[in-house]
Structure 1
Amino acid sequence: MKNEEIFVSKDAMQILKYHGSYQQSDREVRGKGKDYQFMLRLKQPAGEISPELFRLLDDLSRDMGQGDLRATTRMCFQLHGVRKGNLKTVVRSIMDIGGSTVGACGDISRNVMTSPAPFVSPEYQHAREWSKVFAQLFRPMTDAFSQIWCDGEKVATVETWAKEVEHLNVDEAMYYDNGRGVVLDDPVEPLYGTRYLPKKFKIGITVPGDNSLDIYINDIGLVVICDDNGELQGFNVMVGGGLGRTHNKEETFARACDHLGYVAKEDVMEAMKAILATQRDHGNRDVRTNARFKYLVHTLGIDKLRRLVESYYGKPIEPWKPIKDWKYNDWMGWWEQGDGKLFYGLHIDNGRVKDEGDFRLKTALRVLVDKYDMRMNMSPTQSIILCDIDPKDKADVEQILKDHGILSLEEVDPLARLSMSCPALPLCGLAMTEAERIMPSYIERMRALLVKMNINEEEILMRMTGCPNGCARPYMAELAFVGDGPKSYQVWLGGSPVLAGRTAFPYKSKVKDDVMEDCLEPVLAMFIEKRQQFEAFGDFCYRMGVDAIEEYANNYVLGSVKA
């Protein structure tokens, strides 16, 4: 980090991932040497952003970044365009205010997600608290972070969430050794050891019925179980989700979680350690494309996997507790928190917080934060929840947003509200084609197609990525476009409209951008003709299956269905 080069070595790049940073270059700059810069991703369990942290990120993005912020699909912010010479200052500034980038990337536990809704009901409070517990339980213990970014000095404050869960004795639980091989004889990392995990490890926690966070895509998903008085009893646990895959390699695939069982609250930290140790010791370290926990769960099957976890845990895992049906809600718009205050879900197209022409979202957020000392919860859908709003200030908040060119929720196309995309080109080195920059036009084109076919009232959950790695969770969507070449996409169908229990399936590959309507029109025509009453598009495609859809499409004449 101290030399005069504008880039870092390949070895240093791998280390930087554990510290929340990726080296990037603008792939569209030609005729010059690579213009290296760094993306920095924060790690904030439960997606909670204090007003102090937002002010800092706003300033850093303006002074040392490319001028905008990117809301991520795992409930935090990314800064793009940070130069190597500024990286240390940026990271140290974030640490000094109680934020962190440790574990935002790399082969360790990533940012722990939960529902973004700031309801004050007991079950939502439990979910937020325990997301911070698991973030602390699985944090890396090495002092390399402070050695690199702070020259070994102690930072001004510990992470804000760490202070909030001190009463639960998380450090004591981390080091507790049940004698079954969970805790390693390692002087630095009692759970990770010297090799850490085979690959990244993602955790999410929610309440029964609330699947706003795509709970089934995590390595571990937990569901809070309370009694009738709101007292926490324990957690339903699911395992083995994950979305990354590689084109033309069938041994890689997207996968939704299986239900593992139920664990009482007093045992959940030991159970979580046992699951992590199972992946640490038995995950595939030889083939990186098959290193995620989902492949171990798939290979063993859930029953064998459960027995393996129990061998570390030391007791049987109880059966899954019945819970209410899942619903998907993005928590956009106005809601009552339950304490007399309101929250407002602010939709952000593709997560880009920027000022551009009359659209001045970044400035609007700064005005709100400065005026009301407003805190935010990041959303799993790349949007933002504005929290703790006094009802008397509702009209002013709306006016501030309007004055800065922000659409009201009623003005946002439902297709846009239900969509997500990854950044892709020009900065992502893995992108095969566009995603974020082209998704708005796809929403317009899809809307025009629905109007043409007289089904304009349909709301279809769409996602787009520039490569098959799954960063915007495309394989859970009802309709997804996954980049597989220049201006070319693989089309996926059949994800659940409530994002539960299954992935979509691949329908067509190498569909060129300019003929996408021709690909989708037959599917929508079949939907019109053969759907059941009130059946969602994703459920219809899943019920029909790829063979039936292909047969119908092969016999369909374009333009047969008209308004």
Structure 2
Amino acid sequence: MTTPYGAATSTVIRSDPKIQVHNFIGLKASHSLAFNKNSAPFLLRKSRPPVIRAVSTPTKTDTATETKRSKVEIIKEGSNYIRYPLNEELLTDAPNINEAATQLIKFHGSYQQYNRDERGARSYSFMLRTKNPCGKVSNELYLTMDDLADQFGIGTLRLTTRQTFQLHGVLKKDLKTVMSSIIRSMGSTLGACGDLNRNVLAPAAPIARKDYLFAQETAENIAALLTPQSGFYYDMWVDGEKILTAEPPEVVKARNDNSHGTNFPDSPELIYGTQFLPRKFKIAVTVPGDNSVDVLTNDIGVVVVSDENGEPQGFNIYVGGGMGRTHRLETTFPRLAEPLGYVPKDDILYAVKAIVVTQRENGRRDDRKYSRMKYLISSWGIEKFRSVVEQYYGKKFEPFRELPEWEFKSYLGWHEQGDGNLYCGLHVDNGRIGGEMKKTLREVIEKYNLNVRITPNQNLILCNIRSAWKRNITTALAQAGLLLPRYVDPLNITAMACPAFPLCPLAITEAERGIPGILKRVRAVLEKVGLKYNESVVIRVTGCPNGCARPYMAELGLVGDGPNSYQIWLGGRPNQTQLARSFMDKVKVQDLENVLEPLFYNWKRKRQSKESFGDFTTRMGFDKLKELVEKWEGPVVGPSRYNLKLFADRETYEAMDELAKLQNKNAHQLAIEVIRNFVAAQQNGKSE
């Protein structure tokens, strides 16, 4: 049994000044240490910033020079491993915390927010995000989160695209109560935000198959390997209490191994050092063919490779995915991960650690827009990146193993687990659990003592259900609006949106609150142009370009780029293996039909056999699609046997267009009306 933060507990840190001084690797003589009222050390700064030494491999010759660093890097350095000044700010009576503490509380799994719908004085609150590798949530933790949402939040829970909960609306004065409740229910928010490894994804389905179980075990081990060890989280929220957790010996061994210069041997953060990573870091683990995790959007994608008997043998590794970008700054971009190589199964923790350390050492720390690992790989190229990683790994990567085609799996509805029990995947619009749905879910989960899992598509899976319970559970869920997938519009099943307004400070326009209306309008357009109800398009909406709902992988992505307007992205695939591209900017929400109607109409008429909307837009090319949108005058209707060319010359068209405007129509609509009247008159004449 070990503590989740190693031997350097809060008690040692507070009682040994030598360790406190040592923690500030790289202090110059022009700096000194002081102690706040909680006995946590902090920097008394003079004019010149200290040299960073925590981001240089410890075994290298000390040739560090002063370089430009972002403000966040300086805050991290002076924080005593993510403690100061957050520890002091939490004790004040103010409803908010200062800028430095706002950056640090992210490492603890929280963002400071305010209600942007309200005018006047800001109404501050905090969003808490949990850390749930594989999306696993115990019965106890689910019930705790449900209670906390009512007692301290806004009465709802939100399921995220990284298989976690978000709890909105927590007041500063209640933070410690809420955090400690989560911790004591065997949950955590540690590292759910901030410049370190985030929640590790894996297929959420509780399938009793060797490769799925091994993928989930690997995800949990990677999460444990990259969990901070210096104790700042537990110092802050449970007064330094040692929360005991059993770590597999292979995790401890891999973390402590420094045979290739990966560690800071005298630091309580062996992997992260004082500076942690340049930016957030995302990892997903899956099995061949199952792309429920959007594997190519992660910094590291890990795929189990099994032999012909289904026994896991090793892993293919992808690197360099990421969604975030900045509008109209072409040097920022979404990127798909690319193959790095194959490693035997016993080496995966060492390989992941080597990749993380390569990013720690070489990722940019001067400009956070370019700090993700995707920019490092884009700058270096995959060959150089692989070569550097291999130095920390201590081996050459083996050739990438062949994989089958990827497929998106939702896991909705009832399924056999393979162990005699059932699981039930529930579609939750935008991941928001509230009202009658929240009440009924709690009753079912509590009554049958169910564990649950959160999917990367913001849905929920109820696990370990006995066959005898199926009918009663189905009835109860249906009465709360949690329907079987055949009763849910296919558009809704694959759609996602980020929270955006009113609480996200980065939101430019609506996403979660806007997507229900957008999906209804899209369905109406599909019906108008003659597409069947089972026709669907992967739609994702975000309120800003950061890409939290992964819109750049959608067949139709709407990315907020102004008040009530979106940038439209086209060209992703239903199996999440191709990047979309920017098609149009600044499309007002009320004008979406003007763009979507001609696109869907031409998809119906010109697509190849079973061609998805995303593949159709890619094949047609954006120049042609823009021409179709610009010249669109509505779908051709009326008796096809007449096959009329409506306008023989431009003058006729312009004259008809002027006349049509007086009737709030366009030229095409008016011409069709004239033809219909003419045909009707002819038919009436014949009948007389």
TM-score by length of 1: 0.95
Alignment of 1:181-330 (within 5 A): 181-330=261-410
Is contact 2:317–2:339 with CA below 8 Å preserved after alignment? Answer: yes
Per-residue CA distance 1:160-216 (angstroms, 9 max, x = gap): xxx3xx3442112101012x3212244111111111101000000000000011011
1:364 pairs with one of 414, 418, 440: 440
CA distance in 1, matches of 2:602, 2:384: 41
Give the 3-state SS of the residue equivalent to 2:105 in structure 1: helix
Residue 550 of structure 2 is matched in structure 1 by 473
1:10 pairs with one of 96, 99, 106: 99
Is contact 1:454–1:562 with CA below 8 Å preserved after alignment? Answer: no
Query: Are 1:150 and 2:238 counterparts?
Result: yes
- Identify if the C-alpha distance between structure 1 residues 435 and 562 changes in structure 2 by more than 3 Å, giving closer, same or farther: farther
Residue 138 of structure 1 is matched in structure 2 by 226
Query: Are 1:512 and 2:588 counterparts?
Result: yes
CA distance in 2, matches of 1:405, 1:97: 29
Residue 176 of structure 1 is matched in structure 2 by 257
Residue 490 of structure 1 is matched in structure 2 by 567
Per-residue CA distance 1:50-86 (angstroms, 9 max, x = gap): 1100111111111111111000100010111101011
Cα RMSD of the aligned pairs, angstroms, is: 1.4
Is contact 2:125–2:171 with CA below 8 Å preserved after alignment? Answer: yes
Query: Are 1:51 and 2:128 counterparts?
Result: no
Alignment of 1:354-433 (within 5 A): 354-355=434-435, 360-433=436-509
CA distance in 1, matches of 2:248, 2:541: 42
1:73 pairs with one of 152, 156, 161: 161
CA distance in 1, matches of 2:458, 2:419: 26
CA distance in 1, matches of 2:318, 2:627: 36
Give the 3-state SS of the residue equivalent to 1:70 in structure 2: strand
Is contact 1:198–1:285 with CA below 8 Å preserved after alignment? Answer: yes
Instruction: State the shift of 1:364 in Å.
Output: 1.1
Instruction: State the shift of 1:552 in Å.
Output: 3.1
Is contact 2:556–2:569 with CA below 8 Å preserved after alignment? Answer: yes
Give the 3-state SS of the residue equivalent to 1:233 in structure 2: strand
CA distance in 2, matches of 1:486, 1:53: 38
CA distance in 2, matches of 1:71, 1:529: 38
Residue 36 of structure 1 is matched in structure 2 by 124
Residue 524 of structure 2 is matched in structure 1 by 448
Is contact 1:497–1:539 with CA below 8 Å preserved after alignment? Answer: no
CA distance in 2, matches of 1:84, 1:380: 29
Is contact 1:525–1:561 with CA below 8 Å preserved after alignment? Answer: no
**Which 10-residue stretch deviates more, 47-56 or 308-317?**
308-317
Per-residue CA distance 1:201-250 (angstroms, 9 max, x = gap): 00000000000110110000000111233322110000000000010111
- Identify if the C-alpha distance between structure 1 residues 393 and 285 changes in structure 2 by more than 3 Å, giving closer, same or farther: same
Gaps of 5+ in 2: 1-89, 640-688
Per-residue CA distance 1:444-484 (angstroms, 9 max, x = gap): 00000000000133210100000000000100011011000
Residue 541 of structure 2 is matched in structure 1 by 464
Count of aligned pairs: 549
CA distance in 2, matches of 1:404, 1:556: 42
CA distance in 2, matches of 1:347, 1:142: 39
1:128 pairs with one of 202, 213, 216: 216
Identity fraction in percent: 47
Query: Are 1:544 and 2:627 counterparts?
Result: no
Residue 513 of structure 2 is matched in structure 1 by 437
CA distance in 1, matches of 2:354, 2:481: 50
CA distance in 2, matches of 1:444, 1:380: 23
Higher relative contact order (CA 8 A, sep 6+): 1
Instruction: State the shift of 1:402 in Å.
Output: 2.2
Letter of the structure 1 residue corresponding to residue 251 of structure 2: V
Residue 186 of structure 2 is matched in structure 1 by 98
Give the 3-state SS of the residue equivalent to 2:106 in structure 1: helix
1:25 pairs with one of 111, 114, 137: 114
TM-score by length of 2: 0.78
CA distance in 1, matches of 2:486, 2:520: 17
**Which 10-residue stretch deviates more, 457-466 or 551-560?**
551-560
1:117 pairs with one of 205, 214, 222: 205
Instruction: State the shift of 1:338 in Å.
Output: 0.7
Is contact 1:186–1:193 with CA below 8 Å preserved after alignment? Answer: no
Is contact 1:452–1:562 with CA below 8 Å preserved after alignment? Answer: no
Instruction: State the shift of 1:554 in Å.
Output: 3.0
Instruction: State the shift of 1:549 in Å.
Output: 1.7
- Identify if the C-alpha distance between structure 1 residues 230 and 490 changes in structure 2 by more than 3 Å, giving closer, same or farther: same
- Identify if the C-alpha distance between structure 1 residues 273 and 399 changes in structure 2 by more than 3 Å, giving closer, same or farther: same
Is contact 2:313–2:344 with CA below 8 Å preserved after alignment? Answer: yes
Is contact 2:112–2:124 with CA below 8 Å preserved after alignment? Answer: yes
Instruction: State the shift of 1:559 in Å.
Output: 3.4
Is contact 2:427–2:482 with CA below 8 Å preserved after alignment? Answer: no
**Which 10-residue stretch deviates more, 467-476 or 450-459?**
450-459
Give the 3-state SS of the residue equivalent to 1:80 in structure 2: strand
Query: Are 1:335 and 2:415 counterparts?
Result: yes
Instruction: State the shift of 1:529 in Å.
Output: 3.0
2:576 pairs with one of 480, 492, 499: 499
Instruction: State the shift of 1:297 in Å.
Output: 1.1
Letter of the structure 1 residue corresponding to residue 300 of structure 2: I
